[in-house]
Amino acid sequence: MILKSQVEWALHCCAILSSLPEGRFLSTKALAELHGLPKEYLSKALQSLSHAGLVHTTLGPSGGYRLARPPEQLTFLDVVEAVEGEGPTFVCQNIRANNPCRPQGYCESTPCAIARTMWQADEAWRTALRKVTFAELAKTLEQEVSPQIWAGTFEWVLKRAG
C-alpha cells in the first residue's frame, strides 16, 4: 500500500501556494517547472484540488491556482483526501459471511471486529494528518530551507505569478 506520487506533488504545490501573496495565481506550467514534474499529469492532481474546493482558479494568461482558504485552515488531510479519495484504506469484504457454519441468510448486527480495528488505525492516520496545517509547514520550511534558496524561489514564483 503506497500513496500515489500525486499526493506528494499536491502537497508541494500547496506549500508553494501558501506563500503566494493574496489574490495572485500560479499556473500549472510554473508549478510543474518548479518541481520538475510532467505538466499535463500534474494538472490532474491540481484539478483534484480544485474539485475538492481547496483551490480557486482563473483562466487566461496570468491565470492559475491560489488557495481557497488561509493556510491556517488547510490541513495535510485535506490535500491527501482530495487526491487519494476519502474512502478507508481497509476495505472489508465481510468474508466471515462465507463461513459454512452459519445459517443461510444470517445477518450481522455489527461490522466485523477486524474491520473496526483497521478503521480505527485508519482514523489515527487521518487524525495525525488533520493536525498539521500548511501554516505550520510554512513555518518549518522557513526555518529549515537555506535562506538563499528560499528567497530565490520566492522571487522565481513572484515573477511567474499572475
Kindly list the residues in this chain that would bind DNA in the complex (CB under 7 A): 1, 4-6, 27-29, 38, 40-41, 43-44, 46-47, 50-51, 57-65, 162
Of these partners, its own copies, DNA, none, which one is at the site of residue 73 (CB under 5 to 8 Å by kind)? none
Residue 51 or 149: the one with the smaller Cβ distance to its own copies is 149
106 binds its own copies (CB under 8 A): yes
Nearest Cα to 156, choosing from 35, 38, 59?
35
Beta bridge partners of 115: none
How far apart are the C-alpha atoms of 15 and 1, rounded to whole Å? Answer: 25
Q: CB of 162: closest distance to DNA in angstroms? A: 6
Q: CB of 131: closest distance to DNA in angstroms? A: 24
Q: Are the C-beta atoms of residues 46 and 79 closer than 8 Å to each other?
A: no
Residue 6 or 133: the one with the smaller Cβ distance to DNA is 6
Give the helix/strand (H/E) hosting 135.
helix 134-144
Give the helix/strand (H/E) hosting 141.
helix 134-144
98 binds its own copies (CB under 8 A): yes
